[in-house]
Amino acid sequence: MDSVAPVKMLTVLGAICLVAIAAVIGWAREPRQYRADPPVSAALDQLRLMPDGIGGTSPEVYFAMGKPYESTGFDLSQGKRLYSWFGCSQCHGDGRGGKGPSFIDGWWLYGPSMVSIVASIRNGRPHGMPAFKDKMTSDQIWQLAGYVRSMGAYSASVVAPSRNDDKTSRPAENRAPAAILFDEGPIPVHPKQGPSP
Amino acid sequence: MMRDRDTQEPLDVDLDDAELAAKLEKTWASRPGFWGAIATVDHKVIARRYVVTAFVFLILGGLLAMAMRLQLSRPEACFIGPDRYNQIFTMHGSNMMFLFAVPVMEAMAVYLVPLMVGTRNIAFPRLNAFSYWIFLFGGLLLWLSFALDTGPDVGWFAYVPLSGPQYAPGKRADLWAQMITFTELAALAVAVEIVVTVFKQRAPGMSLDRIPVLVWAMLVMSFLVIMAMPAIMVASSTLILDRLVGTQFYNPALGGDALLWQHLFWFFGHPEVYIIFLPAVGMVSTILPSFVGRPLFGYLLLVMALIATGVLSFGLWVHHMFVVGLPRVGESFFTASSMAIAVPAGVQIFCWLATLWAGRPVFRTPLLFVLGFIVTFVIGGLTGVMVASVPLDSQVHDTYFVVAHFHYVLIGGAVFPLIGAVYFWFPKMTGRMMSERLGRWAFGLIFTGFHLTFFPMHILGLWGMPRRVYTYQPELPWAGLNLFISLSSVILAAGFLVFFIDALRSWKNGLPAGPNPWKASTLEWATSSPPPAYNFRRIPVVGSRDPLWSEAADLPVAAGMRTHRRELLVTSMVEALPQARESSPSDSVWPFWTAIATAIMLIWSIFSPWAVVWGSIPIAVALIGWFWPKGTPEDES
Amino acid sequence: MKAAVVIIIAALLAGCGGNQSALDPHGASSVALKDLIVLFALICSVIWLLVTGFLLWAVMRRRAEARRDPAAERRMTVAVRASMTATVVIVAGLTVASFHTTQSLHSGADAPVFVSVKGQQWWWQFTYRDGNQAPLFQTANEIHIPVGKDVRLELESIDVIHSLWIPSLAGKLDLIPGRKNVLTLRADRPGTYRGQCAEFCGLQHGHMALLVIAQDDSSYRQWVAAQAAPAAEPSDAEAAAGKAVFMSKPCAACHTVRGTPATGSSGPDLTHVGGRQTIGAGLLETTRGSLAAWIADPQTLKPGNNMPLVPLTGEELRQLSAYMEGLR
């Protein structure tokens, strides 16, 4: 057998396979940040909310970081832990609400953007939502907000956490429960309060 | 002149040797060029690729081991962080078990078994080609994910719930589980081929009691694969279902069980050790007679021991779970069965010792590795008896004692014979000898380095050092020994370096070997080195256990095979009486496309369950191409 | 090889290896286990020496022509059969020895001291209970036990599988979510015994240690009484300021300090943290400096653990560590 040409071609083919698989994994790659840099945390506190408290813009540093809190599995799963550690379920139940509003009916009283969810957790909201800024660090608040947002997402993202190792009472986050459990919501609503895309 | 009825093509009896060789070459050789290389179904070419790929994975895994030794050489060292360290040891274990040890043993089987039983190609050669591609893609998947910092970090046995949906976020554990699916698929394919090749394609006259011990070992190994691997495929598939689809197999709150994973994993995991070890037994039993100049002592005993080991290996998985708090009666049963496996292992050792005692040893490199194997493996076996005891295991389980134990069994018990086997069969595979001088150096360095590296780990374990810790505190008395181990591991690495240099140099520049440089007795030495695409010009007929010794001058051959198409002789299972001439599949690119389609489906399924639905369509298309009828006439008896 | 054999024999004889060693037993079960280890190791060493000795003899011996006389083959068959029988006998003997040790290990069904252990990533939570299972107090990463008395540990995990291993006192046992295992400890001598998680449990598996402090009955009772009491009030202005920092910052959301408004439960109970020998599950010795270092940057000392980096000023950090140190 002519041994040189096949070897060269096999190398080329191998390289193509490498690149293809690397692209897939690279796309799914999720860098983990264990230690929040204090200056970054401070910058994450600089929320720019609209005067009505609904919607706004996340701080620039958040975009510079690559929006980790809504797009990496690690941060979302940390958020899920925080959800139970900080007793969110006392008012919001498994996400379907209780004393507090539901996260998975597709409606967001203050809009579905990260910044307004962070603002709700950080500063509290009228009618009972307490402020957590003295109880959680800012990166924890962002992690929790990312998780809350993933609960109510309409189309499941690949990174959304799956079920927990306990009793499940609703579809897991990666099944896009908001799409399954959609509820018409109060009418009329503020134009910004619509379902998350 | 006899002619084939249909085609007017000559049978082999009509042709003289040169003419026959030319005709067979035309029929059996793969096309040159790129697509020829992709399409080939020659078991020797595929096995060579398998071996080379597996050794590349060995080198990569060894580099990871060196990285771990660097990190552990000092207390509270900061060379590698815990996240990366956990990925490294998970990769090291998964890589060595799934991408090196099992594939390399199967590759040796793919190369040697058809030659040793005297047939022209392995059974299901296209499946064989498919198996290699699948294995390659699985390995690439794992290593690329590691390179991109998405490597699995849950340990090579990935206990739930640590690897489950709640505690292993991201895609790391999914990639690990899918890599398992790739490699097990590849392993199962090879196992089926080996079983059929051994049972139905042996040379006429090679009745069951004349099969070389290596072939017996590979046969038992293949049965272990067929029976053990489905357990791990179930385990990895249910894990991925738990993680991605939200099933509850391992969720205690909803009737699942965290221990179910351990049962499934070790039901595979313990036979896995013997899947790696039994081929090594076969290699030792084949190498030894060639260097002591007499047949193996206790052939029957050894074969019975192989089978007994295979059967018993399914009855001891619980000794990996002695500290999970199972009922005592059950634990006692598994203590007894784990101890019992020492008996067939002992029988093997005694037979080898008897062979050595009665023969006249010639100290060439392969024999040195066999001797090193016996010395080392006995230690691994004896520490195995120690960990089989429930109370004793409660102190050493999951410590460096166990790390030492399984490296003694896996390196001492399998890698030593494997390197010996490479020295032994390298002339057959390449036509060139490896260097005796470098071989002795490699043996000396590997043997010394190995014991200096791994023996002290027994002591570290008894001194309380758990495995899988990324660092330890300075006030613990482990620093000195750890530094010693790290330094010794350099000697071990140097030994492997010498071995690889020797192999690479000899590949191009070794001395020409000739058909049978060791004066060995089995059939693979009856053909030229390297063997031609058709393996044997004429199918040999076997009249004894050591055909090349008893019929040294001229091996009798079977006649009447067609030459214009790939044809094998099918023989009966027990007596190996000729039954039929069967056509062997021709080269095809479809196994390659099927492997690509399967890889796409498996990788895609990590991201969406719909991949199983849509991804199966290209697989179906590729399989239709693979099995498209060629109009070959039915085989005749 | 030879050096290694010398090392292990020396180690076995000396029984060294510090306060976390299976070869340095100070408890009822670990003594029996060490005897078993020594027995197995001796028998295995003898077998290995025999095999290796025979191997050397077999390859080195001078021999006449390679012969295949039937008498020699018969003798070899007898020898192999005899060795096989010997293997069976030895293995059976070792199995019996193993069963015997299992039987002799303490069950401790009526233990006077009763502790629930909850393993979690990556620390140990201990709840002492009275005779009626009612919780007395909670602590973390350090338990005290009375010498010569059985201590019943109920092992549970709240996240992944861990394994409790205090080699100088007993063999290990896993903590498995959804299951409850029971381990009985008994220390024969007063002392401090270190233990560590032995089942890989994630990022900080390497830093999940605990201390078992065995003391005589009266000091044990004193310790229990002190632990059951609420936290000490700050003794000076600096510590008092530290307490205010603790209550106003996120600390109180995860940690409990009994007798104060801090009742968080996802982190270790800090009521008597200053009295423990180590912080961070065996990571650092407890001093004011190490407390400050830990609070200032837990993610550098123990990357990935669940304690976040809480931004504090230098002043606040000093006050807080003074308060922590005073919680004895």
Looking at the complex, report in whole angstroms how far the Cα of residue C42 sits from the nearest Cα belonging to chain B. 11
The answer to whether B63 faces chain C, any CB pair under 8 Å, is: no
pLDDT band with cut points at 50, 70 and 90 for residue A7: low
The answer to whether B469 faces chain C, any CB pair under 8 Å, is: yes
Q: Locate C99 and state its tokens.
A: 């069963």
Q: What is the ipTM of this complex?
A: 0.93
pLDDT score for B634: 56
Looking at the complex, report in whole angstroms how far the Cα of residue B326 sits from the nearest Cα belonging to chain C. 9
Mean pLDDT of C75-91: 93
Report chain A's C-alpha Rg in angstroms.
Answer: 21
3-state secondary structure of B379: helix
Mean pLDDT of A54-83: 89
Beta carbons of B585 and B136 less than 8 angstroms apart = no
pLDDT band with cut points at 50, 70 and 90 for residue A192: low
| Cβ neighbours for A100, distance < 8 A, ≥ 6 positions apart | A91, A92, A128, A129
Sign of CA dihedral C212, C216, C217, C218: negative
- Spans of all domains in chain A: 51-193
Closest alpha carbon to B135 in B606, B604, B598:
B598
If phi > 0 it is left, if psi is from -120 to 50 it is alpha, else beta; for residue B153 that is alpha
Residue with the two structure tokens 């495995």: B467
Quick check: B386 and C22 CB within 8 A?
no
3-state secondary structure of B628: coil
Percentage of chain B beyond pLDDT 90 is 78
Percentage of chain A beyond pLDDT 70 is 87
pLDDT value at C88 more than 90: yes
Closest Cα in chain C to A140: C308
Quick check: B171 and A73 CB within 8 A?
yes
pLDDT score for C68: 65
Quick check: B248 and A168 CB within 8 A?
yes
Cα–Cα dist B256/C83, whole Å: 47
Quick check: C98 and B391 CB within 8 A?
yes
pLDDT score for A1: 40
pLDDT digits (tens, 9 = 90+) for B531-546: 999 999 888 999 888 8
pLDDT value at B467 more than 50: yes
Beta carbons of C194 and C17 less than 8 angstroms apart = no
The answer to whether C304 faces chain A, any CB pair under 8 Å, is: yes
pLDDT score for B91: 96
pLDDT digits (tens, 9 = 90+) for C200-210: 999 999 999 99
Beta carbons of B290 and B520 less than 8 angstroms apart = yes
Which of C246, C247, C249, C266 should be substituted to probe chain A, the one whose Cβ sees the most A Cβ atoms within 10 Å? Answer: C266
The answer to whether C314 faces chain A, any CB pair under 8 Å, is: no
User: Beta strand pairing status for C123-129 and C113-120?
Assistant: antiparallel
pLDDT score for B156: 94
Closest Cα in chain C to A137: C310
Q: Locate C229 and state its tokens.
A: 């009491």
Length of chain B: 637
The answer to whether C194 faces chain B, any CB pair under 8 Å, is: yes
* CB < 8 Å from A in window 158-197 of C: 177
pTM of whole model > 0.90?
yes
Cα–Cα dist C74/B232, whole Å: 45
pLDDT band with cut points at 50, 70 and 90 for residue B560: confident
The answer to whether C266 faces chain A, any CB pair under 8 Å, is: yes
pLDDT value at C15 more than 50: no
Show the 3-state SS of chain A: CCCHHHHHHHHHHHHHHHHHHHHHHHHHCCCCCCCCCHHHHHHHCCCEECCCCCCEECCHHHHHCCCHHHHCHHHHHHHHHHHHHCCCHHHHCCCCCCCCCCCCCCCCCCCCCHHHHHHHHHHCECCCECCCCCCCCHHHHHHHHHHHHHHCCCCCCCCCCCCCCCCCCCCCHHHCHHHHCCCCCCCCCCHHHCCCC
pLDDT value at A136 more than 60: yes
Report chain B's C-alpha Rg in angstroms.
Answer: 25
pLDDT score for C237: 93
Alpha-carbon distance values, B224 to A152, B74, B107, B307, C277 (Å)? 48, 41, 16, 10, 52
Question: CATH says C237-326 is which class?
Answer: mainly beta
pLDDT value at B104 more than 60: yes
3-state secondary structure of C181: strand
Contacting residues of B for C55, CB less than 8 Å apart: 353, 356, 371, 374-375
Mean pLDDT of B28-37: 86
Kindly report the backbone phi and psi dihedral angles of residue C183, in degrees, each rounded to the nearest multiple of 5, phi listed first: -120, 135
Beta carbons of C217 and C57 less than 8 angstroms apart = no
Cα–Cα dist B412/B202, whole Å: 32
Closest Cα in chain A to C263: A86
User: Beta strand pairing status for C162-165 and C135-140?
Assistant: unpaired
pLDDT digits (tens, 9 = 90+) for B592-623: 999 999 999 999 999 888 899 999 999 999 99
Residue with the two structure tokens 């379907």: A96
pLDDT digits (tens, 9 = 90+) for B394-437: 999 999 999 999 999 999 999 999 999 999 999 999 999 999 99
Beta carbons of B228 and B147 less than 8 angstroms apart = no
pLDDT value at C132 more than 90: no
Looking at the complex, report in whole angstroms how far the Cα of residue A22 sits from the nearest Cα belonging to chain C. 25
Question: Is the link from the previous residue into B125 a cis peptide, with omega within 30 of 0?
Answer: no
Any idea which of B176-190, B259-273, B619-633 has the lowest mean pLDDT?
A: B619-633
3-state secondary structure of B541: coil
Contacting residues of B for C205, CB less than 8 Å apart: 86, 466, 468-470
pLDDT digits (tens, 9 = 90+) for B365-404: 999 999 999 999 999 999 999 999 999 999 999 999 999 9
Please give the helix or strand (H or E) that residue C194 lies within, else none. Answer: strand C191-197
Residue with the two structure tokens 């004895």: C328
pLDDT score for C292: 95
Contacting residues of B for A175, CB less than 8 Å apart: 246
Quick check: C250 and A137 CB within 8 A?
yes
The answer to whether A32 faces chain B, any CB pair under 8 Å, is: yes
Tell me the residue type at A90.
Q
pLDDT score for A27: 72
pLDDT score for A2: 43
* CB < 8 Å from C in window 614-633 of B: none
Q: Is C314 exposed, middle or buried (0-12, 13-18, 19+ CB in 10 A)?
A: exposed
Of B82, B339, B397, the CB nearest to C95: B339
Mean pLDDT of B18-22: 88
Q: Which CATH architecture has domain A51-193?
A: Orthogonal Bundle (1.10)
pLDDT score for C36: 94
Closest Cα in chain A to C249: A134
- Spans of all domains in chain C: 1-62+106-228, 237-326
The answer to whether A25 faces chain B, any CB pair under 8 Å, is: yes
Quick check: A22 and B606 CB within 8 A?
no
pLDDT score for C130: 87
Q: Locate C91 and state its tokens.
A: 């293995």
DSSP conformation class of B31: P
Alpha-carbon distance values, B206 to B112, B447, B542, C222 (Å)? 16, 37, 5, 81
Any idea which of B369-373, C72-76, C294-298 has the lowest mean pLDDT?
A: C72-76
Compute the mean pLDDT over every residue in chain C, rounded to the nearest whole number: 89
Any idea which of A97-111, B36-50, B114-128, B298-312 has the lowest mean pLDDT?
A: A97-111
pLDDT score for B551: 64
pLDDT value at A51 more than 90: no
- Spans of all domains in chain B: 12-626
Cα–Cα dist C228/C224, whole Å: 6
pLDDT score for C72: 83
Quick check: C94 and B385 CB within 8 A?
yes
Q: Locate C133 and state its tokens.
A: 């299972």
Neighbour subunits, A (≥3 Cβ pairs < 8 A):
B, C
Please give the helix or strand (H or E) that residue C106 lies within, else none. Answer: none
Alpha-carbon distance values, B123 to B168, B194, B381, B584 (Å)? 41, 7, 35, 8
Quick check: A9 and B33 CB within 8 A?
yes
Contacting residues of A for C306, CB less than 8 Å apart: 81
pLDDT score for A129: 92
Percentage of chain B beyond pLDDT 70 is 97
Compute the mean pLDDT over every residue in chain B, rounded to the nearest whole number: 91
pLDDT value at C48 more than 70: yes
Per DSSP, what are the bridge partners of residue C156? C118
Contacting residues of B for C201, CB less than 8 Å apart: 162
CB atoms within 10 A of CB B22: 12
Question: CATH says B12-626 is which class?
Answer: mainly alpha
Looking at the complex, report in whole angstroms how far the Cα of residue B243 sits from the nearest Cα belonging to chain C. 15
Quick check: A36 and C309 CB within 8 A?
yes
Quick check: C253 and A135 CB within 8 A?
yes
pLDDT score for B4: 47
pLDDT digits (tens, 9 = 90+) for A12-42: 777 887 788 777 777 767 778 888 888 888 8
Length of chain A: 197
Per DSSP, what are the bridge partners of residue A57? A48
Same fold, C1-62+106-228 and C237-326: yes
pLDDT score for B331: 85
Q: Locate B599 and state its tokens.
A: 């890889």
If phi > 0 it is left, if psi is from -120 to 50 it is alpha, else beta; for residue B566 that is beta
The answer to whether A33 faces chain B, any CB pair under 8 Å, is: no
The answer to whether A163 faces chain B, any CB pair under 8 Å, is: yes
pLDDT value at B155 more than 50: yes
Looking at the complex, report in whole angstroms how far the Cα of residue A113 sits from the nearest Cα belonging to chain C. 25
Looking at the complex, report in whole angstroms how far the Cα of residue C205 sits from the nearest Cα belonging to chain A. 16
DSSP conformation class of C190: -
pLDDT digits (tens, 9 = 90+) for C184-222: 999 999 999 999 999 999 999 999 999 999 999 999 999
The answer to whether C308 faces chain A, any CB pair under 8 Å, is: yes
Cα–Cα dist B436/B334, whole Å: 45
Which of A8, A13, A163 should be substituted to probe chain B, the one whose Cβ sees the most B Cβ atoms within 10 Å? Answer: A163
The answer to whether B528 faces chain C, any CB pair under 8 Å, is: no
Fold exhibited by the domain C1-62+106-228: Immunoglobulin-like (2.60.40)
3-state secondary structure of C183: strand
Which of A85, A141, A164 should be substituted to probe chain C, the one whose Cβ sees the most C Cβ atoms within 10 Å? Answer: A85
Cα C227–Cα C232–Cα C238 angle in degrees, nearest 5: 140
Of A10, A25, A165, the CB nearest to B150: A25
Closest Cα in chain B to A18: B140
